[in-house]
Amino acid sequence: QVQLVESGGGLVQPGGSLRLSCAASGNLFSSRAMGWYRQAPEKQRELVATITTAGTTNYVDAVKGRFTASRDNAKNTLYLQMNSLKLDDTAVYYCNALGGPWLWGQGTQVTVSS
């Protein structure tokens, strides 16, 4: 079973930036499209960014132009560069495979606050 470990979260002021990482164990990472999800307090988990095995990305409107997903298949690692962060971006961020997720990791907390 693939294990996912997210990191890179923290406390940042509005307008700031963070870069999240997601490390996957095993050798299945490069063969799967991946997604970044987030779950804000008292809200359902939502998919905010996707990236295909070839690196094609897609984003929800709320983060389009501010977030950039990327992947390094040689390192089994997924990234999310988050710029111009807003208060509404506060959430726990997770990564997972699309179309049949693996076990969820612990996520990484992103808090945007002044």
pLDDT tens-digit series, residues 20-32: 999 999 999 999 9
**Whether the predicted pLDDT of 99 surpasses 90:** no
Q: What is the mean pLDDT of residues 33-45?
A: 96
The rounded distance, in Å, linking the Cα atoms of 64 and 60 is 6
Mean pLDDT of the chain: 96
So what's the pLDDT on residue 100?
A: 78
pLDDT tens-digit series, residues 44-68: 999 999 999 999 999 999 999 999 9
